[in-house]
Structure 1
């Protein structure tokens, strides 16, 4: 999916705001950490001020991420259907796992949020496998239905949220180290 200049601009502004909110920081707190005025940060988030590279570097550092992650545009298809391993009678999901992942079984009952300010963004990658029901993954402006036995993989720098559609759903959430920090998951509390 190609991202135009206007879309990239909006994506970066949304990530800055979502990362700030995920940390629980006010405009004043992030502005202080990034050595910007509160009004400048507000205008950056709302699109009333042009994005400047030096400010993006300072904001990325203050938000504990890299400039590359802040401006990443690669958005691939996120839903992965299972592969049937007939010889062993199993379903397999081809995800690119890495060391240090945490797996959490979750029951989701609430629908996904309708307001963009409820979306979160943070460094890392997440995967999910829907065990039962239907999940709705919100990635920026996209709403993606993930059905039973389907999986999804996405970079968590995209503002995102998860909800259930038509009743509860059960899923496995899989988080790399950065995503785990973004959700404040303690791996000692969950089975791997």
Structure 2
């Protein structure tokens, strides 16, 4: 147990230093932002001083991260994502990113077999942008009154303030999609089903 604490302590120190250097900040620059003296900050980074919780909070804020991200485990479980298929009539969804991703997006792979276009008056609208690329097959993208066929290997990006839906064209289609938080709330329900491509 003591060894696990020492290992995690070293990981946290390394993350603080790496995030500081990635921003191009000196010890003085970070110290000014988190109101800890440069000498104390140097001791924290080098392991000559224990890290206290009351120091981690301002350091995390100054580095624009969270305590959770500073102290998360460094084993393979935090690296490898093993997506589970979520089946709904007409499509299967695999979430490929973790919940509450730091960069604010959700990534999913979808296999769509539903070939029925949605009625124009039932197309969803929400703030934000969506992006997807077609891995196999052809996707039918409905944007208001327009219908656009997106072939394998091509991608689409569009404002989600335009009424929209995605369905399959001439057989099943697989897409890789990136949704911002607005898109995630609008399209991914508790069962992972995207509303815009429901039959």
Same fold (TM over 0.5): no
TM-score, length-scaled by structure 1: 0.44
Greater C-alpha radius of gyration: 2
More relative contact order in 1 or in 2 (CA 8 Å, sep 6+)?
A: 1
